Structure 1
Amino acid sequence: KACESAGHIFVDRSGPKKVLETIRQAKASLKDGVSLVVFPEGARTFTGHMGYFKKGAFQLADELQLEVVPVTIDGSFQILPRTGKWIHRHRMILTIHDPIPPKGQGTENIKATMAEAYVAVESALPEEYKGMVKNDDQ
């Protein structure tokens, strides 16, 4: 309820029309000048390693010609692993990377921006969590 009150947009994957409604809400927010925080993997990791990025947020940025600002969250896996039941005390570091400006429009731009964002996010992770590991629910 608190998330709804704060204006969070939830991705409803129950059908194509629901996904389109989510995209419409996101576009409206972005056009109003509101920044969106998107978790491009779509799910928490089972291993601490990053999964692959889904393209939805990158398509929106491409369509609206907006910058993408990669952010790395290091330490959240140790605080509460996906399958964990208890919160553990651990340091967490948030790294805000340089914005990635739009390079034009189209599929190649989307792929290039996704790759650049992935490299940026991964660069601030500890060595033990670098390298993609496919998550079972991606």
Structure 2
Amino acid sequence: MKFNDFFVGQTFITKSLELTKEDITSFATEFDPQYMHLDEEKAKKGRFNGIIASGIQTLAVSFKLWIETGSYGDDVIAGTAFNNIKFIKPVYPGDVLYTKVKVIDVEEKRNETGLVTVKFSTFNSKEELVFEGDLTVLVKK
């Protein structure tokens, strides 16, 4: 979509994605090697009663699901900011996530471009909000 195709209030719903224990531990091994993501025995004794996904993984999955809608296509130039990031509830193995993406701001820029800011609200299969964040990208007009 071109910049002029986006408008404040516009909402998109992504497809869903299940996070398996293997997905969680594989991601954590490489990018967030903390016990609550890797050590099942220690994690069971902790605050979350078991292994949970890294918040960074939840953010990455939310972004992936949004990009896979194809809404930006080849019209996106680059991301410029990711703000107001909130990890609200833990994501457990077997949780199925989807993201509601709402356009919250559009700002025309020079050189045939504009900034589009969207709010990600990611939910699990119980309809519990697990993550929020605002992404701003530069898009062609």
Same fold (TM over 0.5): no
Structure that is richer in helix per residue: 1
Rg larger in structure: 2
- Using the size of structure 2 for normalisation, the TM-score is 0.28
Structure that is richer in strand per residue: 2
- Using the size of structure 1 for normalisation, the TM-score is 0.28
